Amino acid sequence: MNEVIVISLLVLSIFGFLAGGVWVGLTLAGTAWLGMELFSSRPAGDAMAITIWGAASSWTLTALPLFLWMGEILFRSRLSEDLFKGLAPWLERIPGRLLHTNIVGCAVFAAVSGSSAATCATIGKMTIPELTRRGYPEDKILGTLAGAGTLGLLIPPSIIMIVYGVAADVSISKLFIAGILPGILLAVLFMGYIIVWALMHPDQIPQAGERMSFMQKVYQSRHLIPVILLIAAVLGAIYTGFATATEAAVLGVVGALLLSLLQGSLSWKVFKDALMGATRLYCMIALILAGAQFLTLSMGYIGLPRALAEWIASMGLSQFGLVIALMLFFVVLGCFLDGISIVVLTMGVLLPTVTAAGIDLIWFGIFLVFVIEMAQITPPVGFNLFVLSGMTKKELPYLHVPPSPCSLL
């Protein structure tokens, strides 16, 4: 009963702050501070300072602003327009047409970044203006982007898979290999949803352009060559072990600058605007991350995640029942915590239960990532929704996200 009261108060606090127009990052930090002051003996002030500093100075996040800068450069050059020129001929005849570029783009970039936020923000910078200009429904543009952005967690390299691999003491390489096929399957399911929706609402999709022959489509695909070369360079650097994700992000920024220079679209104004745009966007994301980290610490001191996990473990469920219960448990936690925090706070308690039930830990890791993907687009702390809200200045209730195929698995 105490846990129910605490959860209810935290939810009311989050919605109250958001309704009052408080920034999301400050809302999370404020809720965490209230939780620690009311339900914990630990002083909230020094805990907040240490946690926010740790979140802001994390080496893991170094790649994020670099990938955002790469996206800003691509957004301000002709490369993003060329991406549409190359993909449009192949997607124009599929129901939903260019809405699929959000999904295809996120699937490709997910194999570069390993971060849901970076995938969502970078692809959004390129696709939102172009799809809006072409007349596609804005809610579907943002919805498909928020959903497909979660592929950054599943398609390797994935930061959250590394965290789980360390916590569960399983092979990270095997986790990466296990995530490839489910990631592709999820992207196909997202595209299937768009196809069904487009067939049911044909009036909301702009008319297709002029029909092209196969050779004409191939010729138009020449516009994809610069983008493919850039992605191949970043991916190749990571998968061959030549560079870490952060070093590959530097390579991506340099490559984007060189391509923009060769196209003649790079100027001092473009360089400065891209740098400042990436800085502003990262500061927004970093503030949310810092608030989420402090909320995670607060909930840890209150004991909510451990209490809920121990309650599930004490129920003596069957293997299937345990999986269903854990899915509901992680969805509820995802309303308040980011994915990495969920893994760190719960694995110590849940892994013995999962192992005793005979569940393969590699399979469980992929299942966990699937469920946490839903948490990225689940209010009130849907991180991808916050990223898109900061990018587009839209209020959270406007950001309607289609039902995730994850919920069907």
pLDDT computed for residue 195 by the predictor: 92
C-alpha 284/C-alpha 270 separation (Å) is: 21
pLDDT tier for residue 192 given thresholds of 50, 70 and 90: very high
Of 185, 170, 186, 177, the closest CA to residue 156 belongs to 177
The three-state secondary structure class of 202 is helix
Say what the pTM is: 0.67
CA-to-CA dists, residue 195 to 58, 135, 205, 313, 404, angstroms: 40, 17, 11, 41, 14
Cβ of 133: how many Cβ atoms within 10 Å? 9
161 or 116, which is more confident?
161
What value does the mean pLDDT take over residues 308-331? Answer: 80
Other Cβ atoms less than 10 A from the Cβ of 162: the count is 18
Token pair of 341 as six digits? 């925090």
DSSP symbols for 257-299? HHHHHHHT---HHHHHHHHHHHHHHHHHHHHHHHHHHHHHHHH
Residue found under tokens 């783009």: 105
Give one DSSP letter per residue of 124-191, joined into a string. HHHHHHHHHHTT--HHHHHHHHHHHHTHHHHSSS-HHHHHHHHHHT--HHHHHHHHHHHHHHHHHHHH
State residue 1's pLDDT score: 45
- Model confidence pLDDT, tens digit, residues 241-296: 787 777 888 888 898 899 888 888 788 888 998 899 888 878 877 787 788 778 77
Q: Which of the residue ranges 148-162, 184-198, 257-271, 380-394 would you say has the lowest mean pLDDT? A: 380-394
Nearest to 145 by CA among 132, 129, 128, 130: 128
Asked whether the predicted pLDDT for residue 170 surpasses 80, the reply is yes
Q: Is 279 exposed, middle or buried (0-12, 13-18, 19+ CB in 10 A)?
A: middle
406 pLDDT more than 60 = no
Q: Which amino acid is at 232?
A: A
pLDDT, average across residues 349-369? 85
- Cα–Cα distance list, 320 to 311, 353, 357, 360 (Å): 17, 13, 9, 13
CB-based contacts of 362, cutoff 8 Å, min separation 6: 170, 171, 174, 175, 178
Residue 136 has pLDDT above 80, yes or no: yes
Mean predicted lDDT score pLDDT of the chain: 78
Name the helix (H) or strand (E) containing 7: helix 2-19
The answer, yes or no, to whether residue 61 has pLDDT greater than 50, is yes
pLDDT given for residue 380 in this prediction: 67
Length of the chain: 409
> Quick check: 218 pLDDT over 50?
yes
The confidence band for 171, taking pLDDT boundaries of 50, 70 and 90, is confident
When pLDDT is averaged across residues 129-140 and rounded to a whole number, the result is: 83
Query: Tokens representing 338?
Result: 């980011």
Question: In Å, what is the CA distance from 236 to each residue of 181, 227, 244?
Answer: 19, 14, 11
Whole-number pLDDT of residue 364: 92
